Chain A
Amino acid sequence: MTAISNARTGNQNSALPVRLARIREAATVVLLAIIIAIVTGIEPNFLSAFNIRSILLWVPLLTVIAMGEMMVIIIRGIDVSVGSTMGFAGIVVGMIFRDHPGFNIYLGTVLGIMIGAVLGAINGSLIAWVKIPPVITTLGTLSAYRGFVFIVSGARQIDPNYIPKELIRWSQRGPFNSQLVPWVVIIALVAALLIYLFLHYTKTGRNVYTLGSNPEAALLRGIPVNRTTFIVYTITGAMAGLAGILYASRFGFVNPGQTGVGFELTVIAAVVLGGTNVFGGSGSVIGTLLGCLLLGTINVALAVLGIDATWQLAVYGVAILLTVSIDAIIQQQIRRLVTGE
């Protein structure tokens, strides 16, 4: 018996999406280059060490949460509570630093991650086992967790003098005392690397893609769907918790009404810009990193060009819609090309 005659055609067709994913990442790079070129044209000093450092300081916060959010979107979910989780972990650890001067900052970081993980686990449990849709669940916890922030802190800010100097130094100096690449950047890169290894080399990580690609089939294949969902939201919470600590390091304060407020939109924008399929199933760590870098660059570019900070939100929102629209249009064109519809 010879092989099925159209096995070949199938392979050719399937190569298309793979190539597209590559093109998608390349497009992000090109877009990044275009933005840098334009802004440098207007403001030749754009790529100064100071601005690069601003970008690099801005991106880590975003990157760590985006890694989690990417996985959430791959499994066809959404987590809009990350900003509140970040705020809660930041405020609780900040209060510990305030009330126990000399508290070990590494212990504080681990605590922040754990607090985030618990909040993420609550999201995950509600979504995986109580079967509340992710948007509703995390919209609820977005509000609830922010409420907790105000309740535990008594709506009082953790002032700069309470944040350990050592922690702040993470945002000032890097390895070998370098000023260009501070430790927070290294931390974010390590987090991204860990997520990459998790997604690529662990069974649970592979299950994330399997589940996102076809939830029904995943269930029938015996993939622990609920457990995987739970783990993804828990990791995302943990990442948001870490971001809370990085926030304290970067800005030197934690403010109940400020830290992490509206950050979910920025994170989702970065993930979507990074090429993660909004309908689930695909997304890459590299792409998400590029998305974060792109958003960080836009953010700093707006400042350099003297565009008011009030524009930021609008820019993110438009960026999300634009990216998704362009993606959708391209997909439609391809489908038309392939099927002639």
Chain B
Amino acid sequence: MSEQTSILTTHDLHMAFGGVDVLKGINFSLFAGEVLGLVGENGAGKSTLAKIVAGVHQPSQGEINYQGQTVQIPSPHVATKLGIALIHQEPLTFPDLDVAENIFAGRQPLNGGVVNWNAMYKRAAELLASLSVQIDPHSKVRGMSIADQQMIEMAAALSQEVKVVLMDEPTSSLTPNEVAHLFTNMRRLRDQGVAIVFISHRLEEVFEICDRVLVLRDGELVGERVTKATKVEEIIRLMVGRQLSALCEKKTGANNGQLLLEVKNLSRTEKFADISLDVHAGEIVGLSGLVGAGRTDVGRALFGMLDTDSGEVWLSGKPVKIKSPREAMGYGLVYVPEDRQHHGLLMPMAISQNMTLSILEQLSPSGWLRGQAEQTVTNEYTEKLHIVLRNISQAVRELSGGNQQKVVLSKWLLTRPKVLILDEPTRGIDIGAKAEVHRLMGELASQGLAILMISSELPEILAMSDRIVVMREGRVVAQLDKADATQERIMAAATGQVLDEATIESNPVEDHS
């Protein structure tokens, strides 16, 4: 913190959605020139708090003091005018417009009432340059990477006199390089006196970038710590409100189980090449690598969603040609996609309807769905997976991220698979639910399933995998046993660096010199 002037203070902020209290009296101060971390489990109220400050939601009670005055922030527009910008997890850009207009949407520079395109392109280029990104202000945003779109949003925030930037999980879709670049820009802004609120599930990032951390739990502020004077364990304890080991470690299972999935030299032009890996019954194999390394494409190819050019896939010792997810399911192989909202769940539909989607044919032997059977099955899995719900006809949309993920898992487990491919199984879900999902994965493996887990979180990979396969730019670059694997080794393989073993010991990754 460069100076002790509070730029924004909230007093007793309350918020209720449909009778449920989401925020219960939040008092906090934000100082100019600091990065304030905002952490908490899903549903703790972080995003809601940010959205109130950014004018998206209106508090049901309480007030906001900004630059010494009590202010009303009835809309995002007003917030922007005040100098408060919100950067969303999924960038909210306009794909049909070019970069410059995305930056200046709604407040294009005018010259006598007429949009001044030249000035707009010039300003856009300057702003992008100040963020050290090479994006052409003239190109359309459709098809750009999340990181680029985020930089465009950032430039949009900077195009006005911005004093407070709220960032809601900005790093969740970025590669480590992109995260580093984002942090550089955040530090630069902070040094210019901008106050930044950083919401993240990734505690290591919070510790890297934040000066202070606020911990929210169930809509209440349960702790405020200076990052230098605290530890991850303490923050986690505050978040969940009880002592909890961050990750549930998988007990190394019977590695000599039957070979269930064998992939030999699988290739697909421009996606991946020469992929070989195998997974035994009872084993969890972690598929690691940077975002964009082609891991998801391998998963999708195995599930028949993506054609391959060459190579072989063997299931339970027999070569198979899988051309569609339906065939894959027939062979007992399922792929649980990363994006629950779009690929995994029908949000407005009931939990029971979502769960039984994969086995509708079994449940309707005469062509008519047997409601009783549907209920029985749903209740069984709800219990098995400890899904927290009001009743099974509740819409999936109303569940927390962790419980949604369990519904997705149930849906696939109902098909009684032998090989389970999980793509980022715990992305965007809170720590408590994460541990639950991990425990479940361990159980499934011990029941004899072969699990291939794609994950971007190194601690998760290390804790859960019996073996680790690392991909880089569409190729397998390393296969590590649990005993040999370290974060540094995986990262080195994933980024294509050759590390001297001695350096690993003496130079931990946190060292940025």
Binding site for B on A (CB under 8 A): 1-11, 13-18, 200-203, 205-207, 209-210, 212-214, 216-223, 277, 281-282, 338, 340-341
Given A206-B115, A341-B305, answer yes or no on A4-B94 (Cβ-Cβ < 8 Å). no
Residues of B within 8 A of A10 (CB): 135, 143-145, 148
Residues of B within 8 A of A205 (CB): 115
B435 within 8 A of A: no
Beyond A3-B132, A4-B133, 10 additional contacts (C-beta under 8 Å) are: A2-B132, A6-B147, A6-B148, A8-B134, A15-B140, A17-B140, A209-B97, A219-B76, A340-B306, A341-B306
Residues of B within 8 A of A223 (CB): 77, 105-106
Contact A3 B93 (CB under 8 A): no
Find residues 93-110 in chain B having any chain A CB closer than 8 Å to their own CB. 93-97, 101, 105-108, 110
Residues of B within 8 A of A13 (CB): 142-144
A-B interface, 9 closest residue pairs, ranked by CB to CB distance from nearest? A222-B77, A13-B143, A217-B92, A10-B144, A281-B96, A213-B94, A213-B96, A3-B134, A223-B106
Contact A209 B96 (CB under 8 A): yes
Stretch at the interface among B1-9, B178-186, B319-327, B486-494: B178-186
B379 within 8 A of A: no
From B115, B184, B306, contact of A203 by CB (8 A): B115
Contact B114 A214 (CB under 8 A): no
Binding site for A on B (CB under 8 A): 56, 75-78, 80-81, 86, 88, 92-97, 101, 105-108, 110, 113-115, 132-136, 139-145, 147-148, 151, 156, 177-178, 180-181, 184, 268, 270-271, 292, 297, 305-307
Alpha-carbon gap, A97 to B297, bound state (A): 70
Alpha-carbon gap, A338 to B140, bound state (A): 16
Contact B56 A203 (CB under 8 A): no
Shortest CB-to-CB span from A337 to chain B, Å, is 10
Given A1-B184, A11-B144, A340-B271, answer yes or no on A217-B178 (Cβ-Cβ < 8 Å). no
Shortest CB-to-CB span from A331 to chain B, Å, is 11
Shortest CB-to-CB span from B344 to chain A, Å, is 16
Contact B142 A202 (CB under 8 A): no
Contact A222 B97 (CB under 8 A): no
Shortest CB-to-CB span from A65 to chain B, Å, is 23
Contact B108 A7 (CB under 8 A): no
Contact A14 B115 (CB under 8 A): no
Contact A15 B132 (CB under 8 A): no
Shortest CB-to-CB span from B263 to chain A, Å, is 18
Give the one of A14, A200, A202, A203 with max B CB within 10 A.
A14
Alpha-carbon gap, A281 to B96, bound state (A): 6
Alpha-carbon gap, A340 to B142, bound state (A): 17
Alpha-carbon gap, A14 to B141, bound state (A): 6
From B92, B108, B178, B270, contact of A340 by CB (8 A): B270
Contact B75 A4 (CB under 8 A): no
Contact A214 B78 (CB under 8 A): no
Residues of A within 8 A of B271 (CB): 340
By beta carbon, the residue of chain B nearest A17 is B142
Contact B92 A206 (CB under 8 A): no
Contact B177 A206 (CB under 8 A): no
Given A4-B181, A214-B94, answer yes or no on A201-B143 (Cβ-Cβ < 8 Å). no
By beta carbon, the residue of chain A nearest B185 is A1
